[in-house]
Chains A and B, each alone.
Chain A
Amino acid sequence: MTTTRDDAVLGYDEALAQFDPVMGLEVHVELGTATKMFCGCATTFGAEPNTQVCPVCLGLPGALPVVNAKGVESAIRIGLALNCQIADWCRFARKNYFYPDMPKNFQTSQYDEPIAFDGYLDVEIPAESGEGTETYRVEIERAHMEEDTGKSLHVGGSTGRIQGAEFSLVDYNRAGIPLIEIVTKPLVGAGHRAPEVAKAYVSALRDLLRALDVSDVKMEQGSMRCDVNLSLRPKAGEDPTSDAQLAVPMGTRTETKNVNSLRSVEGAVRFEVCRHAAVLTSGGSILQETRHWHEDTGITTSGREKSDAEDYRYFPEPDLVPVAPDAAWVEELRATLPEPPAQRRKRLQGEWGYSDLEMRDVLNAGAVELIEETVAAGATPQAARKWWLGEPARRANTQATDLVTYADQVGLTPSQVAELESMVVAGRLNDKMARQVLEGVLDGEGGPTQVADARGLELVQDDSALEGAVEKVIADNPDIAEKIRGGKVQAAGALIGQVMKEMKGQADAGKAREMILAKLGAA
C-alpha cells in the first residue's frame, strides 16, 4: 500500500488541453425512516453506542429480516424523481465480505435487479457567457436499496486495554439503516467543466432528496456520501460532445471514496484530473485503485488496489422475498412527487421578484430552501435574501462549507432570520444593530431577541432622549438649521448624522429626520 502525498500533478488548464475527463458518481443516501431497513431498531443519530441493535442487525443466528415498507416506498419515490423505470419485480442480494463493520459478514444489497434504473437528472451550471445557466443531463444508471454498516473507532496500542495491541471498537447502531445507492452512467461531454458538473449534480440531488423528504441529506453527518470515479482519455478536438470525442475509448479509472462535501466533490474531480494527466503525460499508466480524499489538504492518496477484496460473490438473499411493486401503487407514489427543482426555481424567482443576477447569487449560495422557509416565516423575499447572503454566506465561505451546512452547524434557522427582520420592521433595531444581532446569533449567543437583550441593542423608543439630541444638534449648527428653515430640506442629512452620533447609533434615522424637520417648521 502506498500513501505518498507527493503525487505529481499537472496544471488544470494544461491537463484539459490534452485530455477529456469522464466521471462516474456514486451517491449513498441514508433514508430518514424511523427504523432500520430489515428490523425495527430506531435510527436516531448520535444515540449511545449499541443501544439501537437487535438480533437481526447484529447478525445473530436464526434472526430473520423483514423489509421496511417505508424504505421501499422511499426508494421508489427517489427512482421516480430521477426519471427512472421502476422494476416490477426485483430481489435483494447478499454482498459477501468479511469486515468488522458488518456483523453478518455480508451486506444486504441489490445486485443485477435494482429497484430503479435508466433515469436522468438535469442539472444547471452557470453559462460560460456569464448570463443565465446551461443544462447538463446526468444519466442515471440505477438506484438500489441496501443497508448501512457499523461505525468503527480505531484505538491505538497505548489506549487499548491490552498493552501493545491495536483494536477497532465497533458500534452497530448504524448497521442496517436503509441506504439508497444512486449510480450515474459515465458522464461524458462536460469537458473542462467536469468539476462544476459533479458539484452541481450532487447539489441538485441533495435538493431533490430534501424536497422528497426522504433523508436529511446532511453530508457532514454522513447521511449523504459521494464516491467519485474519474478517468481521462485523449482529447479529440475542442468540442467535448463531438462524435469524434465520444468515440475515443475511456481510460483507466480511479475511485475516490467518501468525498463528503460539495466543495470536495469539485476538488476531488479537479485533483484527479491533474494527477491522472501528470501520470499519463510522463508516459505512465493509471492504476485502477481506490483513493482516499483528504478534506484538509484537498488531495487524494492511494488506498488499496482493486483486488480480490472486491470479489463479493453476490447471490440472491434467501431470507427475503422479492419486491414486486404494484403498478397502481407506483402511480400513486408518482402523484406525490414534489415539483421538479428547476421548475420550482423558475416559479420562486417569479414569486420573489428577483432579477436573474440576484437569483444566480441565491443559487450559487445554495440558499433557495433557506429563503423559501424564511419568507414562509414572514420576511419579505428581499430581506430574506439580504440576511442570508450577508454574514452567514460570508462565514460559510470562509469555513469552506456551504450555507445550509453552516447554518445547521451554528443553529441559525429561517424563523430566526424572519424574527430578526421583524425586529427591524417593528423599529426595535436599525440595520446596523440587526447586523450585530445576527453576528451574535452566529457566534452562538442565542436567538435574535436573546442576543439583542443580552447585548443591550435596542433603538431608543423613548422620544425624549432623541428629542434632546435633536435640540442639541440644532443649537450646535445654527447655519444649517437656518437653511432648513428656509426650505433646504436636503440639508437635514448633515444633522441626522450628528444626531445618530449623539445617540450612539441607537436611534431610528427616519424618526430623527422627522423630528428635525418638525422642529424647524419644514415638515
Chain B
Amino acid sequence: MGPRRAHRLARMPDLSRDDVAHLASLARIDLEPQELDRLVGELDQVLGAVAQVQEAPIEDVEPMSHPMPLVNVTRPDEVRPSLTPEQALAGAPLAEEQRFSVPRILDEE
C-alpha cells in the first residue's frame, strides 16, 4: 500500500475507430460514422501530445494528484442549509413530482 508508486504510463498504441466508438458509448454520446472518423484523427493527435509530455525526465519526481501539498482537509459533521427543491430543479430540463425527470435507462429493472 505504498502511496507514492512512481509509474510511467506505457505509450498508448494508436487509437482505433473501435476505441472511439467504445468511449462514445461509455459517455453515452451518439456519434455518426463520419464523426467517428474525424474524432479518431483528432484524438490521436491529443494522445500524441500527451505522449510527448510523457517523455519528460520524471525518474526523480514523485507522482502528484493535487497541486497543493496538503492532507486531511476536512469539515465538521454539521448540517448546512441545502438548496430549496425549486432552486435544485431550476436547471432541470424536465421535472415531475419534485424530482428530476430523465429518459429511462432500460437495462435496469
Q: Write the residues of chain A forming the contact surface with B, with a CB cutoff of 8 angstroms.
A: 1, 33-35, 39-42, 48-55, 58, 60, 66-72, 85, 87-91, 96-100, 103, 113, 117, 153-155, 160-161, 165-172, 292, 304, 308-309, 311, 313, 316-318, 320-325
Contact = CB atoms under 8 A, between A and B. Distances in A.
B83 A53 contact: yes
Contacts of A52: 82
Contacts of B105: 99-100, 168
Given A69-B75, A169-B99, 13 more contacts: A1-B107, A40-B79, A40-B80, A42-B82, A52-B82, A66-B73, A117-B1, A154-B104, A155-B96, A160-B96, A170-B100, A321-B68, A325-B72
B99 A170 contact: yes
Chain B: number of interface residues, binned into ranges = 35 or more
30 contacts: A34-B78, A34-B79, A35-B80, A41-B80, A49-B98, A49-B99, A51-B82, A51-B84, A53-B83, A58-B83, A69-B74, A69-B77, A89-B71, A91-B3, A98-B27, A99-B105, A100-B102, A103-B100, A153-B97, A160-B101, A168-B101, A168-B103, A170-B100, A309-B26, A316-B65, A317-B65, A320-B66, A321-B66, A321-B73, A322-B65
Contacts of B96: 155, 160-161, 167, 169
A142 to B, nearest CB: 10
Determine the main DSSP class of B at the interface with A: loop
B77 A34 contact: yes
A320 B73 CA distance: 8
B73 A67 contact: yes
Nearest to A1: B107
Contacts of B109: 292
Contacts of A89: 3, 71
B26 A98 contact: yes
Given A35-B79, A169-B96, A72 B74 contact: yes
B70 interface: yes
Interface in B77-92: 77-85, 88-89, 91
A89 B99 CA distance: 39
B99 A113 contact: no
A48 B85 contact: yes
A1 B107 CA distance: 8
Nearest to B22: A308
Contact of A35 (B26, B78, B100, B107): B78
Contact of B98 (A50, A54, A90, A155): A50
A103 B68 CA distance: 27
B45 interface: no
A52 B82 CA distance: 6
B8 interface: no
B79 A42 contact: yes
Contact of A170 (B3, B82, B84, B102): B102
A50 B66 CA distance: 32
Contacts of A91: 3, 65
Which among B76, B82, B97 has the highest number of chain A CB atoms within 10 Å? B82
Given A40-B80, A316-B65, A321 B72 contact: yes
B69 to A, nearest CB: 9
Nearest to B4: A89
B25 interface: yes
B36 to A, nearest CB: 16
B72 A324 contact: yes
Nearest to A105: B27
Interface in B38-72: 65-66, 68, 70-72
Nearest to B67: A318
A322 B66 CA distance: 9
A67 B74 contact: yes
A172 B100 contact: yes
A113 B75 contact: no
B53 to A, nearest CB: 16
B79 A113 contact: no
A164 to B, nearest CB: 12
A76 to B, nearest CB: 12
Contact of B99 (A50, A316, A318): A50
B82 A171 contact: no
Given A85-B1, A113-B1, A40 B78 contact: yes
A319 to B, nearest CB: 9
